[in-house]
Amino acid sequence: MILKVARLGNPVVRQTAREVDPREISSADFQRLLDDMVETMREYDGVGLAAPQVHVPKRVAVLEVTDHPRYPHIERIPLTFLINPVVVPVGEETEEDWEGCLSIPELRGKVPRFKAVRVSALGRQGEKLEFVARNFHARVIQHEVDHLNGMVYLDRMKDLRSLSYLLEWQRYWMDDLTVRGKAKKGKAHVEAPSKGASS
Ligand SMILES: [Zn+2]
């Protein structure tokens, strides 16, 4: 089922989400929530979605970036479920790049993020996950974990001057980034089809 996405201003977006009891993970209700989150993320062309964005204040996020023929340089991310994720930066290096958010429609802004993070979480069946994510993958995870702490990408921007409406972003910034993305293979500057990534 496609769920309604909470937008900025809805208190649930600013709430700190609570830990999931691991015993809850195998329940039908919880598994349905995971399915619904995936369906919702795909419906709105998101690359990630956190449970508070669908009015559920629990520490759960899903992410996925699939292949797109127009953007062969895009970094793919397999469908991933992160339950109670803990994220620690690997090194101090940060990078600025564009982000969007399904809870803040029609806007894009440049956000600094750690280039690499170590992630510990539980997976869909409650199994332990432990991995290092880099670049765009690390960016999406940091964006989603912020949602679990009541934060949005606007809070992370160094200044708001890059903030652009989608139409203006496509007109003035996207092409430039597409060229840059192609030049630097493996860097995913332009993410979802013509809209940039939202999560
Ligand atoms: Zn978001």
Q: Ligand 1 centre from 91 Cα, in Å?
A: 24
**Mean pLDDT across 45-58:** 97
Cβ–Cβ under 8 Å, residues 13 and 59: no
Mean pLDDT of the chain: 90
Give the pLDDT confidence score for residue 67 in this predicted structure: 77
pLDDT 10s digits, 74-92 = 689 999 999 999 999 999 9
* pLDDT greater than 80 at residue 190: no
Give the pLDDT confidence score for residue 164 in this predicted structure: 96
pLDDT 10s digits, 133-177 = 999 999 999 999 999 999 999 999 999 999 999 999 999 988 765
180 Cβ contact list (under 8 Å, min separation 6) = 187, 189
Q: Ligand 1 centre from 147 Cα, in Å?
A: 7
Compute the radius of gyration of the chain from its Cα atoms: 16
Whether 72 is covered by a domain: the verdict is yes
The residue written with tokens 């970094």 in the block is: 75
Whether 191 is covered by a domain: the verdict is no
Where residue 92 sits, what CATH number does that domain have? 3.90.45.10
Which of 41-45, 65-69, 104-108, 120-124 has the weakest average pLDDT? 65-69
Q: Ligand 1 centre from 69 Cα, in Å?
A: 25
Structure tokens at 16: 């700190």
* pLDDT greater than 60 at residue 29: yes
Whether 196 is covered by a domain: the verdict is no
Whether 1 is covered by a domain: the verdict is no
Give the pLDDT confidence score for residue 185 in this predicted structure: 39
Domain count, the chain: 1
Instruction: Assign 3-class secondary structure to the chain.
Output: CCCCCCCCCCHHHHCCCECCCHHHCCCHHHHHHHHHHHHHHHHCCECEEEHHHHCCCECEEEEEECCCCCCCCCCCEEEEEEEEEEEEECCCCEEEEEEEECCEEEEEEEEEEECEEEEEEECCCCCEEEEEEEHHHHHHHHHHHHHHCCCCHHHHCCCHHHCEEHHHHHHHHHHHHHHHHHHCCCCCCCCCCCCCCEC
Q: Ligand 1 centre from 57 Cα, in Å?
A: 14
**Mean pLDDT across 187-194:** 42
pLDDT 10s digits, 88-115 = 999 999 999 999 999 999 999 999 999 9
Whether 130 is covered by a domain: the verdict is yes
pTM of the entire structure? 0.89
Residue 70's pLDDT band, with cuts at 50, 70 and 90, is low
Q: Which residues are annotated as catalytic?
A: 144
Beta partners for 198? 46, 100
Q: Ligand 1 centre from 74 Cα, in Å?
A: 19
Whether 106 is covered by a domain: the verdict is yes
92 Cβ contact list (under 8 Å, min separation 6) = 114
Give the pLDDT confidence score for residue 68 in this predicted structure: 65
Whether 198 is covered by a domain: the verdict is no
Alpha carbon 10 to its chain's center? 19
The domain of 134 spans 11-183
pLDDT 10s digits, 165-187 = 999 999 998 876 554 554 443 33
Whether 34 is covered by a domain: the verdict is yes
Cα→Cα distances 116→9, 133, 135, 175, Å? 30, 6, 6, 26
